[in-house]
Structure 1
Amino acid sequence: MLKSRAGKQAWRRRSPAGAVRKAQPPGSVAVAPVVSVVIPVVNERRTIAQVIRQAFAVHRNTEVIVVANGTTDGSGKIAESLGARVLYYPEPLGHDVGRSIGAKEAKGSIVLFTDGDIVISFKDMVPLVKAVENGVDIALNSYLGPVDKMSVHGVVLAKHALNIALSRPELKGASMTAIPHALSRKALEAIGHEHLAVPPKAQAVGICRGLDVRAVHYIDVGRTNRIRRRRQGGDPLEGLIVGDHLEALEWYVRATSERGKKPDLTRVREIVR
């Protein structure tokens, strides 16, 4: 799945274009969904049908929102044929921006995020939904990434460092950067859908605003990412995602104090000012 800084910046500069939706049958009565599953898609014809079927199975009252951005392989039409609500954008926006757009359109009291290129069983996503039903505001995948190496990936380090800076070290590397994760309607309103375009920043906003953020269930999404990195000869997104974490830290410092609510201990800075 493409993730694009340019896509993020373009989306921030303008309101998203109108969306194309699958029409309701004549005379049907719309029922407000409990769960909205948001799936950004760029040319995922091979997997999108399986992803959507699993998404619809997470709750008996579910809507599936597919954000088809820059898609040219018919993924959107497949999604429509399976009952998903499809939002079309001609350019690739990046999957974080896609989540932000989908969240804005979501009607459910719970919003679950996953990706169109990774098939995750509904049995692994249901615990996230149930956690939110039971009062958790942000239910995270407890996948931490590979931490048992001498040289740890920069994104893994960034996730751990951000949670420590946010005074939530028990979260370790659990992050809104990883899918799947679920938000309550309260969390979505407190964070703002626009902040979802930078997931670590959304996490910082949520924690800073007192939301109940927990790592609730382990889903190994690293296997697919490892295969993708091998094919691409490395991780082209590492710098971008680390930069997202730096943006999150900048927001947190501005929202709290110059040391992010951390004490100076024995330092007396005022003497040298």
Structure 2
Amino acid sequence: MDNLLDDRPEVSVVIPVSDDAKTLRQMLENVNRMAFSAEVIVVCPTWTRISVPQAYSSRVHVIPSDSFHTYDQGRSLGSYHARGEVVLFLDERVIVAPALLKKYVTAIKNGADIAVTESAPFRPDNKLAAPRQAYRLLNHLLGLVDFGDSTMSKVPYACNQRALEIMGYEGLCTPPVGWVKAVKEKLAIVKISPEPAIQWWNASRDTMKKSKSQVLHDHTKAIRTILDDIGRRGGLPDGERYRSLLKVPGRLHLRSVFYQQPNESKRGKWGGKRKKKQTNVRKKR
């Protein structure tokens, strides 16, 4: 048991892939140069044969499975096998420089629970795509306006084991839901500036990428979670409204729903002013 604890890595890097990714060798090299003891967990379909370079084979764990169909599901599956206190999430589409990988790990080691990639500055003259609008809307509802469209829906991001326990499997399969849980539990969340720049692999890999409709559906679930928690009125009081009057049969003036007894006989009240106004109109005619 002591040997197992001694061999525990500082960082677990989870990389879901759809095939024998050409980027995998470069990513393994960058992880090796990160200056932390790390294990790499590669999640792939069962029909895919992953060739791991001999130099990294001792630290790479390949997990074949048919139970995932998106990168988010692959990252969630890989997190079950992560032994490091810091878990760094990537996928086959990105190549991240060692210096940038180190930033995410250092942020978690310095006390953050979650570290996400800082979004590009918003330019009013640019039209935002629907997913980015969804990211920004969710952050606005959560009070994270300064985060813009920074989110766990985009890689790279990192978290500690405590955050994984709070967010759970559903929180990684549906990152917006996990994001809401993290904010609700007041986890420490930080943004990491993507410098050096993240390189996106040119080859098209859309087999496990969520469609726009899936991304929007995920955010709908997250917003529903917020509404279920704070109520229909967002936690605000209902004021002097008497909604039970809406169920009373017969014709009622709309304002009687808001003011239970609109007294037209008293001056200075709404009813009195309205009656006087009607009287003046009749005199003019």
Pick the aligned partner of 2:119 from 143, 150, 163.
143
- CA distance in 1 between counterparts of 2:194 and 2:26 reads 20
Supply the AA of the counterpart residue of 1:239. S
SS in 2 for 1:112: strand
Structure 2 matches for 1:254-273, cutoff 5 A? 254-261=228-235, 263=236, 268=239, 270-273=241-244
1:207 aligns with 2:178: no
Pick the aligned partner of 2:14 from 34, 38, 42.
38
Pick the aligned partner of 2:73 from 70, 84, 97.
97
- CA distance in 2 between counterparts of 1:70 and 1:128 reads 30
Supply the AA of the counterpart residue of 1:54. N
- CA distance in 2 between counterparts of 1:165 and 1:79 reads 45
Structure 2 matches for 1:105-120, cutoff 5 A? 105-120=81-96
Structure 1 length-normalised TM: 0.76
Q: Deviations over 1:164-210 (max 9, x none)?
A: 10111111111001110010111111211332000111111100111
Match of 2:157 in 1: 181
Structure 2 vs 1, CA of residues 88 and 257 (structure 1 numbering), >3 Å: closer, same or farther? Answer: same
Match of 2:271 in 1: none
- CA distance in 2 between counterparts of 1:43 and 1:180 reads 20
- CA distance in 2 between counterparts of 1:216 and 1:236 reads 23
CA contact (8 A) 1:99 1:113 kept: yes
Structure 2 vs 1, CA of residues 195 and 80 (structure 1 numbering), >3 Å: closer, same or farther? Answer: farther
Q: Deviations over 1:75-106 (max 9, x none)?
A: x2336873211100146521100111111111
- The Cα of 1:61 is off from its aligned counterpart by 1.1
Match of 2:264 in 1: none
CA contact (8 A) 1:40 1:67 kept: yes
Unaligned stretches of 5+ in structure 2?
Answer: 245-285
Pick the aligned partner of 1:250 from 217, 224, 229.
224
Match of 2:269 in 1: none
CA contact (8 A) 1:253 1:260 kept: yes
- Between 57-66 and 142-151, report the one with greater CA deviation: 142-151
Q: Deviations over 1:13-49 (max 9, x none)?
A: xxxxxxxxxxxxxx99960111100001101432111
- The Cα of 1:140 is off from its aligned counterpart by 0.6
CA contact (8 A) 2:14 2:90 kept: yes
CA contact (8 A) 1:204 1:248 kept: yes
- CA distance in 2 between counterparts of 1:255 and 1:42 reads 37
SS in 1 for 2:51: helix
Structure 2 vs 1, CA of residues 28 and 254 (structure 1 numbering), >3 Å: closer, same or farther? Answer: closer
SS in 2 for 1:46: coil
Q: Deviations over 1:33-68 (max 9, x none)?
A: 111000011014321111222223334211110101
- CA distance in 2 between counterparts of 1:63 and 1:157 reads 35
Structure 2 vs 1, CA of residues 58 and 82 (structure 1 numbering), >3 Å: closer, same or farther? Answer: same
Supply the AA of the counterpart residue of 2:222. A
- The Cα of 1:258 is off from its aligned counterpart by 2.9
Structure 2 vs 1, CA of residues 259 and 174 (structure 1 numbering), >3 Å: closer, same or farther? Answer: farther
SS in 2 for 1:182: strand
Structure 2 length-normalised TM: 0.73
Pick the aligned partner of 1:128 from 95, 98, 104.
104
Structure 2 vs 1, CA of residues 121 and 259 (structure 1 numbering), >3 Å: closer, same or farther? Answer: farther
When the two chains are superposed, the root-mean-square deviation of aligned CA atoms in Å is 2.9
Give aligned pairs, total.
237
- CA distance in 2 between counterparts of 1:269 and 1:110 reads 51
CA contact (8 A) 1:42 1:71 kept: no
Structure 2 matches for 1:62-101, cutoff 5 A? 62-69=38-45, 72=48, 74=49, 76-78=50-52, 82-83=56-57, 84-90=60-66, 93-101=69-77
Unaligned stretches of 5+ in structure 1?
Answer: 1-26
